A and B are shown apart, each in its own frame.
Chain A
Amino acid sequence: MRYLSPHTINEAVAALADSDGDVKILAGGTDLLVQLRAGMKAPGLMLDVKRLPELRSINVEKNCFHIGAAVSGAEMGEHESLKGSWPGVVEAMELIGSTQIQGRATPGGNLCNASPAADSVPAMVAAGAICTVVGSEGSRDLAVEDVGISPGQTSLGRDEFVVDFRLPERPPHSGDAYLRFIPRTEMDIAVVGAGVNVVLGDDGVCVDARVSLGAVAPRVLLVPDAANELIGRKLNDEVLEKLDAACRAACRPIDDKRGTVEYRTQVSGVLARRAAVIAFERAGEK
């Protein structure tokens, strides 16, 4: 197994193209190094992307945040203006693992590890984040919800990797939230995760919304039916009940040691309600 840490995207793309697919992209390594040690992965090349400057910074361009794919959770949590504009995205990333894991774990790794229970992904999907993906054919945009397709599998080509996440411009009265359910208070894998992002009009009526669920299907779900229950309405019990029902209807979970199908389905609705209440509150304050 070789190790390479290129300093330019072109070098990284060339190394990927030369590798015949026998390569793993190394970002924070908090999943990959565990899989390596367990013998689940044995690539010929470890391609470390943490020395690529484009992947290592958080910038604002044309009023939009760009989050490098290999920025750590701790760096996102320390970025006050990102946290101010996108508290749900930042909180979701910060829910991953311990202080030690936060020092390494990255949103790009969380996305491309392609776990349906990845915490940052529903929040990114709800936010409407777009990934910049590079490969031999050049660069392309890919919506976050289109990256993970099944557990451990992404839609990326063998010579492609994620450079950054671009969050949309934030209009006034917008807010997001992510909640996950775990049976303890810290350091566990989501039984269900729910991300809600809303934009309100001056009158408090929701003009735009996105709702996303994690750990209730083989991939993180964007749930337009749930968002449609919010759009055009103010938040009240009836709207929350419809949101809850739309989320439950979208679930296709598995039974496992962390939760049954029935349990996950019910919790998805409850979490979506609670996340919606927080997102509306945050939007109302801005």
Chain B
Amino acid sequence: MVKTHVNMTVNGEAVEFLCETKATLLDVLRDELDLTGSKEGCSSGDCGACSVILDDRLVCACLVLGAEADGGNVETIEGMADADQLHPLQQKFLEEAALQCGICTPGFLVAAKALLERNSNPTETEVRYWLAGNLCRCTGYDKIVRAVMDTAEEMKGVSK
């Protein structure tokens, strides 16, 4: 078995591991680094449950090889809260019950964070298009979209 030596930064910490070519970034995060917040849904880039940020780009970790992430900077759901202080999106998802079973939630949160970092004042249409790659079979999406909009509104108030 030929393995690739990979160095990357995950949530601000340097990590180093040996990676089989076929192992995806998702496999590495979950099985090698015990970061199981990113979920495996479809494994084909359709559901968004494994959404992470790689070098400032929102990606599906199932569609990136671990080896490709060598030298990269990865942000996962585990890095979203600041110790016990939840990220405003996490807080709002809880307050507004924007989740039911929870499998899609880490992906939605990471994707929504990536959106608000680019566009702090998105329209509902922009939120829905941005999150079109994240599937949820419980909520019907309305509560998720509302929670993202309300977070944007709240964060705007804070930064004033």
Query: Residues on A close to B: CB < 8 A?
Result: 1-3, 5, 26, 28-30, 33-34, 36-37, 46, 48, 50, 72, 74, 97-101, 103-104, 186-187
* Chain B residue, CB-CB nearest to A45: B21
* Shortest distance between the CB of A42 and any CB in chain B (Å): 9
CB < 8 Å: which of B22, B48, B54 contacts A98?
A: B48
A179, B58: Cα distance in complex, Å: 26
Please determine whether A99 and B21 come into contact, CB atoms closer than 8 angstroms: no
C-alpha spacing A30/B65, complex, angstroms: 11
Whole-angstrom distance between the Cβ of A65 and the nearest chain B Cβ: 22
A97 and B63 alpha carbons, distance in the complex (Å): 13
Residue interface bits B115-154, CB-to-A below 8 A is 1, else 0: 1000000000000011111100000000000000000000
Contact B59 A100 (CB under 8 A): yes
A30's partner among B45, B48, B54, B70 (CB-CB below 8 A) is B45
Interface residues of B in 44-64 (CB under 8 A from A): 44-45, 48, 51, 54, 57-60, 62-64
Q: Chain B: which residue is nearest A35 at the CB level?
A: B44
Q: Does B14 contact A (CB under 8 A)?
A: no
Query: Which B positions have Cβ atoms within 8 angstroms of A?
Result: 2, 4, 21-22, 24, 43-45, 48, 51, 54, 57-60, 62-65, 67-68, 70, 111, 114-115, 129-134
Partner of A186, one of B51, B59, B132: B132
Of B43, B48, B64, the residue contacting A29 (CB under 8 A) is: B64
Partner of A34, one of B45, B59, B65: B45
7 residue pairs bridging A and B, Cβ less than 8 Å apart = A3-B65, A5-B68, A30-B63, A100-B59, A101-B63, A104-B57, A186-B132
Report whether A50 and B68 are in contact in the complex, using a CB–CB cutoff of 8 Å. Answer: yes
In the bound complex, do residue A1 and residue B2 qualify as a contact, i.e. CB atoms below 8 Å apart? yes
Q: Please, which residues of chain B bring their CB within 8 A of the CB of A29?
A: 63-65, 68
| B59 touching A98, Cβ below 8 Å | no
Q: What is the minimal beta-carbon distance from A108 to any residue of chain B, in angstroms?
A: 15
Q: Which residues on the B side are within 8 Å of A1 (C-beta)?
A: 2, 21-22
* Other A-B pairs, 4, CB within 8 Å; known A3-B2, A26-B65, A187-B132: A1-B2, A3-B65, A28-B63, A99-B133
In the complex, the answer to whether B43 meets A99 with C-beta atoms within 8 Å is: no
Question: Which of A3, A28, A97 touches B21 (beta carbons < 8 Å)?
Answer: A3
CB distance from B51 to the nearest CB of A (A): 6
Contacts A33-B63, A46-B21, A103-B57 given; indicate if A97 touches B45 (C-beta within 8 A).
yes
- Contacts of B70 on A, CB cut-off 8 Å? 5
Contacts A5-B68, A187-B133; A100 near B60 (Cβ below 8 A): yes
The residue in chain B whose Cβ has the minimal distance to the Cβ of A187 is: B132
Q: How far is the CB of B7 from chain A (nearest CB, A)?
A: 13
> B65 touches which one: A33, A72, A97, A101 (CB < 8 A)?
A33
Nearest 5 CB-CB pairings of A with B: A98-B133, A103-B57, A3-B21, A1-B21, A3-B67
Q: Which residue in B22, B60, B115, B132 is a CB contact (below 8 Å) of A36?
A: B22
B44 CB, nearest partner CB in chain A, Å = 5
> Which among A1, A36, A103, A187 has the greatest number of chain B C-beta atoms within 10 A?
A103
B60's nearest neighbour on chain A, judged by CB, is A100
Which residues of the partner chain B approach A100 to less than 8 Å between Cβ atoms?
Answer: 45, 48, 51, 58-60, 63, 111, 133
